[in-house]
Chains A and B, each alone.
Chain A
Amino acid sequence: MNILVRAYSSSLGKKYVMAITGLALFVFVIGHMAGNLQIYMGRASINGYAAFLKSKPGLLWTARISLLAIVIMHITAALQLVSENRDARPAKYATGKPVAASYASRTIFISGLVIFAFVIYHLMHFTLGLTNPEFMSLQDPSDPLHHDVYGMMVRGFSNPFVSAFYILAMALLCLHLSHGVASSLQSLGIRNKSNVAAIHRTARIAALVIFLGNISIPIAVLLHWVR
């Protein structure tokens, strides 16, 4: 704990928290996407996967709690950094915008906030069943003991508005990561002249893959490829 307190008490410390939590979330998103893509392997496989996760409550809850902790740390650090940065420049310039600053870098906070909003909605949507309580009671036809995650996704994404929001959120996540991943490596002192190009390329590709992989699902549903 003490190390966290020290981290938050210095600007660079906060950056480390930002970077490490950011990267952790990045890894989660990849893993999560891999899980979700099983939807293409048919109802049984993804429902089985979900059931498998649920069958290990200990593991699941540790994951959930640490994930929650990570998101909280990431956001608290972000909010602190951003508010400090606002204070540091009370009067804005009359002309011009930041030189040589990528769009992603300038919008990192906004994209983050939208992603946050998305996650909240997303949990209410698929995990807590607050938006659509009926989802929770769906049963896998071939195996009534399993929750029909497959069906839930199909129904969920059949609503074009819901899908649209998901796609938008994924776009912003992609933007967020396209700067975030490279940035975190700089924050951790890993980036340098010789690897900077490679890091940027990989980060962009990873972000794009996550984007395409994730949006493929709502699109597939809307186009009735998955039904």
Chain B
Amino acid sequence: MNTTNKLDAKAYWKATIRLTISLLVVWFLASYGAGILFRDALDSFSIGGAPLGFWFAQNGAIYIFLILIVVYCRKMTQLEKQFGVKG
């Protein structure tokens, strides 16, 4: 039922999954990693007057989330062009 070439669709999906997993790794590290699991270690550094781990949990993770979605949108547009998907 696909209007696109079958092979392209498969390769496109594979590339999408690879991109999704790598972005989710960063997502996990920025929030659960820096903000929760490794917070104590990061707290020995500071950003301005805030302990770094605490800052990640309250502010930094949000900026990273935003960057992740922007990167995802850009890369997906590229992938769609590359594999001839209409988008």
Real binding pair = no
